[in-house]
Structure 1
């Protein structure tokens, strides 16, 4: 049965909070998330999309579309700035304390079954946000493009339920002095949205992918030879005992003329992944299809999913052969186990003693362009701490920095020739009930003024083959570069 918040329920909730989420469900068996976004093009100028390609798992049940930003929180050069409606302020408190206060101020009343992740903040932490927590050198500070932290808090959220084929439309409204009028006005707003959503909805087409010519220019900030030299220098740090493992990256750039949304559409089709995102900012549009969770907190259960160990994969690959090869590769398994231990240490800092455990160890998962060794580490969040504490403890992922983390990041700053920006950072969503979900910002691009910037890396250990590591960065860039090329081809 399709649900909606009644006027009586709204009036009851309005006595408990200044903001209430008014919602209505509609049948969505003839709709698609992409069709909805296309029909709401005017509303989606600041809108975000969060999806999962895992349709057969619980994680892939919902797609979220959010728009109409009522507040924004950012940190740039360690300076906090926030906007609530049109009012801008610069709190002097530390960033995460200010973010907690904003979450509390913006919280809304809602019926329980609509609460989790329907409303809250959608945002990002760049890799450089680590300097909010640790004194890491910054040789490339002049390269700043994105804020270190950016969250948008949206008034309207659409939750597409792929299992039950229904769409929840939820709008936050300030109750004000006349709650009845506020409710009726919001109902009228939802009615207009439904008309737009359901009017001649564009339908996605599924067709064979044309062969893509990979001859369009791709600029790389480090040649294979230069990257291989960095690998050798990193290996010397390992021999010297500075680190056990270090993740080195390089930057790929490619021009595009397709719209960022069409590139995202293509990426989600050619490279479905557990975490897919489309997030516009003033500095460009961030799109991605990440295979890796950073950290999640659901009802105070914390989970990390370290991924390490990689093989290229195509539609003709033998997955059973790849699985056997990865699990019998001593170098890949040693690297993976090192990062599982690092994940356990990260959770140990914020979880109740005795609750941290490896719940899934060394399972090979196959994605569109690569296969990875994956594990899951869980724990119970310690009393007195919250999701932002857990995020700070896990950030950045050891799989994108190295072990031990701090020294690895110092060496990364020494060896890499440009700022990482979003690479190795996180795309996050926070709700008003204390839940957090986040993915590592990999297999993604920043699309700005016709130039796509992509960054990929490889984990270096003492016996790494420099040529193989350079090749790995190319394999990891393939999915996004292919999506751009295909989106360009479809313009013709």
Structure 2
């Protein structure tokens, strides 16, 4: 299959995929988009009514849309950095037009983020942070073309376009807007924001429940109606303005109804005239409206005069509460929410009240609505219901009005299980150009890595940023932040890795000729040492040591944008994966993906290279600043207990955590460690709550096209001028090292036999010597063929944890570690690596690593304790002068002070 070559580079502005009024209800239910969905915003010349294209082209697109529907949007997309939604509303609705139906919807709630400000600032990109604190969209509408006003069962329909007013008695007024909409078939453009872009806006009163419970709840039995307000008021807004606060854009939208015109050409010309008129009202007014500056007093202890006028006296309200309690005790109800109305006279302008309310009480749903008979100013944190007509979400024979009817009687959110459609993944474009290793390192900073990113060096260099999906598991509690779907969900699952498998089963990736033979997209992250507890029910999380850091047990991200550097071929590949199912056609998916890839190419090729400071080649601690989770005496006692427990010849690998405060940049630490300790697996991983810098010689497990590979390694470090041949002879002739190597190989064979066909397990290599620049390895390789009914996740669970960091047999060694170590290991002792879209996997043992949680450098050391004697098996030293002390216990210096 041919690859595509880029002939030009365009700057791409990502458009949003966030629902209207995208505030949040609590920190635990925050819904975010990762800015991963780019609409065809670069193709403005093809947008209906968009500036910058020929009228003939717009007319042709309009005629094409008219063949598929009779309700078509025209729009203009312009910059909004000179205008605010409040001022824009005043352009459309003057101060003295209080009876003109209109609305302003906003979401301006930063609540709940102040407590997590440090997480927000370190986890999310600046654009996403801005969206969190400001809300994504504001929507404005004025001069509706039609209004529906219902008072009990009497419905008044005012068609302002036709100049007609009708009144009729209707048993269920909620059917009226559905019948009106039934004759229209709208054509939605991908270029429009995924917020409300037009049509019905209004309110349904509390009394609207009487329409649904006709027999039990009659209007005649309702309390006195002293206000005589409509029970429902809806306006049909075909002129709407949408502010995108993240991208600083403004969409001016006009909907054209073809049934009102004799020809498509007439409809297009009229629609363009109306759109131009709306644009002119917004931006060509020579005298902009003046808004009062207002004043803000932040005092919370200053109260105005109390409200005296209410619908109930204090005694009447207490009596109502007492009666409600009696009904609860009698079993009639289990909860009731009583209310009373307070009133006061004021000369304040309602719009000024709204401006003040959005400051003193911001919320996900800020509303200013001028309706018939009243002006509604509201601030609400509660969603009643949201319906989006997508296959698998709402039953095909139902509409959004049915969803509203289902929610109104009970007044709570009515959830519907969301079924994700099957995702079709296609690699769309591959680019090759010259590169070098130093360029690969600098590009890790050229790409935005503010959210989560990885960098692993093993023949290839892999770079990814701005993950599409993030999967975080803490024990059995899983959080999935889905940038593709634009949502966040949290759930309790027995085995999070089963959930990962189900998510992968929904994808059908298509192979692409020409991609490098390595990771090109999929999951990347770490699985902690304690991940085995999801399978080993005899060793639950409750039996684990104290969790003093509360790090995730699984933190992996799905990357659909990946850069691969091939250091042998001197090539680099820029790869973007496209979910074809999210688009109306393959062509639309292709152009969207190409735009995304152009943007990625522009970032790394033509963007301004960042400045990277010089990193010191030594990170030596002042021993007085070190701290550990175990004192030296506690560690000695743990070793003594381990020796007493393994008299039968078992083996256990103890560890302790060394940490210190540091101002060192984690990326600079990665650069230095990478230069001093080259290894097959070198990783810089920026996760949800920590930065992980790791080097590892040990492969945990590799899976490629159904073939599993595991290796057992013993190694010796080259020092001074000792010839390699002498080290090789010393390593092969060391009886202890050979014995240790064989039990490691036996452990690998046991792991691989759990998930592989018995006749396929093969010992391909045994005690072979591998020469590297700094170390020499004695390696053995065992392979096997994975059972057809198992997946990469089954293979990974069978391999965790590696015997290198636990001991053997694993079950007994893990029990001893739980007893002897005071705190959980976290990522140390687990695995770091990737699982591709195709199910291939490459995981290394998280062995030599430094963890940077919020400015603290943390390193682990370990000691293998067999029955015969205590053998130190610690990390590489950062300098030759930092050697084990007389008791064979060494501390790994991990960071530099700046």
Question: What's the offset of the Cα at 1:406?
Answer: 0.4
Task: Confirm or deny: 8 A CA contact 2:618 2:672 kept in the other structure.
Answer: no
Tell me what 1:81 maps to. Answer: 479
1:449 paired with 2:858, answer no
Which structure's CA Rg is the greater one?
Answer: 2
**Shift in CA distance, 255/120, structure 1 to aligned 2, threshold 3 Å:** same
Question: More deviation in 91-100 or 396-405?
Answer: 91-100
Task: Confirm or deny: 8 A CA contact 2:476 2:494 kept in the other structure.
Answer: no
Question: What's the offset of the Cα at 1:392?
Answer: 1.1
What CA deviation, in whole Å up to 9, does each residue of 1:198-228 have, x standing for no partner? 3465799999x86765546433333555434
Task: Confirm or deny: 8 A CA contact 2:619 2:895 kept in the other structure.
Answer: no
Tell me what 2:522 maps to. Answer: 120
Aligned-partner Cα distance in 2 for 1:369–1:185: 47
Structure 1, unpaired ranges of 5+: 8-15, 53-59
Question: What's the offset of the Cα at 1:437?
Answer: 0.6
What CA deviation, in whole Å up to 9, does each residue of 1:231-278 have, x standing for no partner? 232222221x2x521111111113321221111111111111101111
What CA deviation, in whole Å up to 9, does each residue of 1:267-302 have, x standing for no partner? 111111101111111211011011110001111111
Tell me what 2:650 maps to. Answer: 244
- TM-score, structure 2 normalization: 0.48
The SS at the match of 1:385 is: coil
Aligned-partner Cα distance in 2 for 1:158–1:259: 23
Question: What's the offset of the Cα at 1:446?
Answer: 0.9
**Shift in CA distance, 227/316, structure 1 to aligned 2, threshold 3 Å:** farther
**Shift in CA distance, 202/164, structure 1 to aligned 2, threshold 3 Å:** farther
Tell me what 2:539 maps to. Answer: 136
What CA deviation, in whole Å up to 9, does each residue of 1:64-93 have, x standing for no partner? 111121112222121233232232232646
Aligned-partner Cα distance in 2 for 1:447–1:426: 17
Question: What's the offset of the Cα at 1:107?
Answer: 4.7
Highest relative contact order (Cα 8 Å, sep 6+), 1 or 2? 1
Aligned-partner Cα distance in 1 for 2:724–2:612: 29
**Shift in CA distance, 91/78, structure 1 to aligned 2, threshold 3 Å:** closer
Tell me what 2:591 maps to. Answer: 184
Tell me what 1:34 maps to. Answer: 441
**Shift in CA distance, 442/21, structure 1 to aligned 2, threshold 3 Å:** same
Tell me what 2:554 maps to. Answer: 149
The SS at the match of 2:746 is: helix
Question: What's the offset of the Cα at 1:440?
Answer: 0.3
Aligned-partner Cα distance in 2 for 1:166–1:370: 28
Aligned-partner Cα distance in 2 for 1:83–1:113: 31
Task: Confirm or deny: 8 A CA contact 2:466 2:559 kept in the other structure.
Answer: yes
1:327 paired with 2:732, answer yes
Task: Confirm or deny: 8 A CA contact 2:763 2:781 kept in the other structure.
Answer: yes
1:484 paired with 2:895, answer yes
Aligned-partner Cα distance in 1 for 2:620–2:477: 45
Tell me what 2:792 maps to. Answer: 387
Question: What's the offset of the Cα at 1:27?
Answer: 0.8
What CA deviation, in whole Å up to 9, does each residue of 1:38-78 have, x standing for no partner? 222x35542211212xxxxxxx1x21111121112222121
- TM-score, structure 1 normalization: 0.84
1:337 paired with 2:742, answer yes
What CA deviation, in whole Å up to 9, does each residue of 1:10-40 have, x standing for no partner? xxxxxx9644322231312367211222222
**Shift in CA distance, 223/374, structure 1 to aligned 2, threshold 3 Å:** farther
Question: More deviation in 439-448 or 64-73?
Answer: 64-73
Aligned-partner Cα distance in 2 for 1:449–1:95: 26
Tell me what 1:294 maps to. Answer: 700
Question: What's the offset of the Cα at 1:427?
Answer: 0.7
Aligned-partner Cα distance in 2 for 1:3–1:154: 21
1:95 paired with 2:496, answer yes
Tell me what 2:666 maps to. Answer: 260
Task: Confirm or deny: 8 A CA contact 1:322 1:371 kept in the other structure.
Answer: yes
Which of 158, 161, 168 is the aligned partner of 2:566?
A: 161
Structure 2, unpaired ranges of 5+: 8-421, 881-890
Task: Confirm or deny: 8 A CA contact 1:245 1:335 kept in the other structure.
Answer: no
Aligned-partner Cα distance in 1 for 2:492–2:894: 41
Aligned-partner Cα distance in 2 for 1:69–1:352: 35
What CA deviation, in whole Å up to 9, does each residue of 1:335-364 have, x standing for no partner? 221111111111111111122122222235
The SS at the match of 1:288 is: strand
Task: Confirm or deny: 8 A CA contact 1:331 1:463 kept in the other structure.
Answer: no
More helix by share: 1
Task: Confirm or deny: 8 A CA contact 1:34 1:204 kept in the other structure.
Answer: no
Aligned-partner Cα distance in 1 for 2:605–2:664: 26
Question: What's the offset of the Cα at 1:160?
Answer: 0.9
Tell me what 1:218 maps to. Answer: 626
**Shift in CA distance, 81/372, structure 1 to aligned 2, threshold 3 Å:** same
**Shift in CA distance, 197/120, structure 1 to aligned 2, threshold 3 Å:** same
Question: What's the offset of the Cα at 1:125?
Answer: 0.8
- What does 1:341-360 align with in structure 2 at a 5 Å threshold? 341-360=746-765
More strand by share: 1
